[in-house]
Amino acid sequence: MDLGLKEKSVVITGGGSNIGRALVLGFAAEGARITIGDIDETQAGKVAELARAAGAADVQVVRTDVTQLDQAKALMDAAVSRYGAIDALVNNVGWDQLMFFMQTTPDFWEKIIRINFHGVLNCTHAALEKMIPAGSGSIVSISSDASRQGEAKEAVYGGMKAAVNSFMKTIAKENGRYGIRCNCVCPGVTIPETEEEVGKGSMWAKPLFTPDQLEKVAASLPLKKVGRPRDIANSVVFLSSPLAAGHVTGQVLSVSGGYSMIG
């Protein structure tokens, strides 16, 4: 099926590792022109080479700390300068460290808020400045099923992802008049398949789960398997497609093997 993404300009934050890497390769397979915004230029550069081999029309890497609005604006400027527009943005950057809430500190809260919420605000604002005059665009933010279920050891992270869900629905309502669609994808436990899929700064650089824990997680899910990065990428590519999902906006889609089932 033609998804209408060939040579479209797609900006992906955190495109160097895990889900971000799969996102870049997923859009590359559609022939998109991709701008990777990542704080780890080395890892993002490796993914850019893979994306070119996978069929991307073009790829550029822009070192970006999404918690800084000026850097988010520079990322979007780079995409427009090279490709003429921003057709799709994927807010993928996220970070967490599994701890019970009473083990955390205000400094930890602030880091979670900056990365997981302020980063989305910054990049969405910067992208809308380009999309509104163009009269079209798609924004997909990577949320988490922790935002829908509540999950032990992810209190602040889950709270920020819930904020992302609400924010994106509001942005969808405000900007539909400009032809801009805004959606969220909520992964469950999503595990890199190889060590090469993550950079040194990734939260997945060290295993978060033992093999026994992963087996228990898989056994608890209706589909009896944990998620892989490509599972999330496939859903995001679909939602970004003006042909396949052109009438879809303001939605929060769980891609978690059935972890949450919300009517």
- Catalytically active residues are 157
Is the sign of the CA dihedral 97, 101, 102, 104 positive or negative? positive
- Whole-number Å distance between alpha carbons of 130 and 228: 32
Nearest-CA neighbor of 191 among 159, 161, 222, 225? 225
Quickly count: other Cβ atoms within 10 Å of residue 230's Cβ. 16
Q: Can you read off the two tokens belonging to residue 69?
A: 């609005």
Structure tokens at 127: 């992208």
Q: Which amino acid is at 256?
A: S
Q: Which residue has the tokens 């279920």?
A: 149
Q: How far apart are CA 255 and CA 259, in angstroms?
A: 8
Instruction: Give the Cα separation of 248 and 237 in Å (integer).
Output: 13
CB of 147 within 8 A of CB of 118?
Answer: no
d(CA 118, CA 89): 16
CA 233 to chain centre: 9
